[in-house]
Amino acid sequence: MQFLTAMTVLAAESEGGSNTSLVLPETSELIAGIIAFAIVFFFVWRWAMPTITATLEKRRQAITGQMEEAEKAKREAESLLSDYRAQLAEAKTEGSRLIEEARQSADQMKADIVAKAEQDAEGIRAKAREEASGEMSRALADAKSQVGDISVELAGKIVGESLDAKAHKALIDRYLADLEKI
Amino acid sequence: MADQRIQGYARGIFEMAKGEGSLDRVESELLAVAHAIESSGDLRSSLTDPQLPLDKKQAILDELIGGRASSMTVAAVQMIVTQGRAADLPEIAMGVAEVAAESRDKAVAEVRSAVPLDSETVARLTTSLSRATGKQVEVKVVVDPSVIGGIVSRVGDTVIDGSIARRIDQVKHVVKTR
């Protein structure tokens, strides 16, 4: 503690005489410094500044361009999206229209098929009726003809069996008489 | 006698029989055979059956006419059957009769009756048919039960039908068309 107190006293004593000479340089040194600074400033201002300014300007422009492009891309993307949405909506409408059309044509076809089937059935029924009646009249005609044949045949047999010698002679005589008249 | 072949057979048999001097006999025997074939369906179908061997047909013919008919008739019938023309035999027999009648300047009148006719009836038929047709006819009587009653005469293409069979046919026609 004693040591520290001694140090402080010492410092206070040495500073007391030349406080300004510690901060401010000598006048010649100051002039040389000012000239050197001016030279460096001139060089920097003359050559380095424009380069830096140009580079900065370039960078600024590049960033602006990129931003603009990004903005453009965004706009394009939005326009595409809206296009897609519109197309989607259109496609939906078209799809439901097609489905509706298909349903309608299916209904039409169904109705057509049913109508045709009914018509065909009616035709078949009519034909069957016609055939049945034709068949019946044919059978009737057939039966008639057969009855005729059978009865005539029977009549022939009965006549043939009932002819005796006298009847035969009478028939032959009549034939001869007719023949002699020619 | 529209068929040339039948006419040919008839002429051939006529010439041979005439040469042998047995024309009359052959003529009537052939008509008898023809009648037998016409009136028996069994006989006709066996003689015309192409499946039946010839020797079987010969046996049937032997049984039918062998020993009873003249050798000329037997030979003629055998020839016709061997040639497969048994179905034409009745027409050939009638053809022989027609050719023979022609050679005597006469026409054949084929007379079909259900019963045999006596000679008086045959004589009357000969006279009447000769007058009706304007030709001298020789009456050949064929007994045919299918006539039923009455007579059917045929001279050439002229047919004079006075049979019950025809009347029944007419009745049948009327019944059918009514």
Query: Does B52 share its domain with B40?
Result: yes
Token readout for B6 is 């039948």
pLDDT for residue B147: 85
Closest-CA residue to B163 (of A45, A174, A46): A174
Q: H or E stretch including B154?
A: strand B150-155
Query: Does B10 share its domain with B79?
Result: yes
Which residue among A145, A148, A176 places its CB closest to the CB of B125?
A176
Query: Does B111 share its domain with B163?
Result: yes
Q: What percent of chain A has pLDDT over 70?
A: 88
Higher pLDDT, A160 or A124: A124
pLDDT for residue A10: 54
CA distance B178 to chain A (A): 10
Query: Does B80 share its domain with B122?
Result: no
Q: B26 pLDDT exceeds 50? A: yes
Q: A8 pLDDT exceeds 60? A: no
Q: Which of A145, A154, A166, A175 to mutate to test the interface with B (most CBs of B within 10 A)?
A: A175
pLDDT tens digits along B89-143 = 888 998 888 888 888 888 889 899 988 888 999 999 999 888 888 888 888 888 8
Q: Tell me which range, A113-117, A161-165, B82-86, B99-103, is most confidently predicted by mean pLDDT.
A: A113-117
Per-residue pLDDT band at B1 (split at 50, 70, 90): very low
Query: Does B148 share its domain with B86?
Result: no
CB B107 within 8 A of CB B138: yes
pLDDT for residue A121: 96
pLDDT for residue B100: 87
Which residue, B84, B104, B124, sits at the end of a domain?
A: B104
Q: Which structural domain range is residue B14 located in?
A: 1-104
ipTM: 0.71
CB B136 within 8 A of CB B103: no
Query: Does B89 share its domain with B71?
Result: yes
CB A149 within 8 A of CB B103: no
Token readout for A29 is 């040194």
Query: Does B84 share its domain with B158?
Result: no
Spatial distance between the Cα atoms of B69 and B17, rounded to a whole number of angstroms: 13
CB A173 within 8 A of CB B124: no
Closest-CA residue to B7 (of B73, B87, B86, B97): B97
Which residue, B73, B104, B135, sits at the end of a domain?
A: B104
Q: B5 pLDDT exceeds 80? A: yes
pLDDT for residue A17: 47
Spatial distance between the Cα atoms of A54 and A58, rounded to a whole number of angstroms: 6
- Determine the average pLDDT of the residues in A35-42: 94
Edge-to-edge strand list for the sheet holding B107-113: B137-143, B107-113, B150-155, B158-163
Closest-CA residue to B93 (of B33, B144, B149): B33
Query: What letter represents residue B142's amino acid?
Result: V
CB B155 within 8 A of CB B135: yes
Secondary structure (H, E, C), chain A: CHHHHHHHHHHHHHHCCCCHHHHCCCHHHHHHHHHHHHHHHHHHHHHHHHHHHHHHHHHHHHHHHHHHHHHHHHHHHHHHHHHHHHHHHHHHHHHHHHHHHHHHHHHHHHHHHHHHHHHHHHHHHHHHHHHHHHHHHHHHHHHHHHHHHHHHHHHHHHHHHHCCHHHHHHHHHHHHHHHHHC
CA distance B142 to chain A (A): 14
CATH of the domain at B37: 1.10.520.20
Closest-CA residue to B114 (of A164, A154, A181, A158): A164
Query: Does B141 share its domain with B120?
Result: yes
Query: Does B129 share its domain with B176?
Result: yes
Query: Does B45 share its domain with B94?
Result: yes
pLDDT for residue B33: 87
Query: Does B99 share its domain with B161?
Result: no
Query: Does B111 share its domain with B175?
Result: yes
- Determine the average pLDDT of the residues in B146-159: 87
Q: Which of A168, A173, A180 to mutate to test the interface with B (most CBs of B within 10 A)?
A: A168
Q: Give residue A5's Cα distance to chain centre.
A: 98
CB contact under 8 A, B115 and A178: no
pLDDT tens digits along B49-74 = 888 888 888 888 888 887 788 888 88
The domain total for chain B is: 2
A125 CB near a chain B CB, below 8 Å?
Answer: no
Distances (CA, A) of A135 to A97, A123, A124, A126, A146: 56, 18, 16, 14, 16
Q: A3 pLDDT exceeds 60? A: no
Planar angle of CA A160, A165, A167, nearest 5 degrees: 65
A176 CB near a chain B CB, below 8 Å?
Answer: yes
Spatial distance between the Cα atoms of B124 and B130, rounded to a whole number of angstroms: 10
Which residue, B79, B104, B129, sits at the end of a domain?
A: B104
Query: Residue B75's CB: how many other CB atoms inside 10 A?
Result: 16
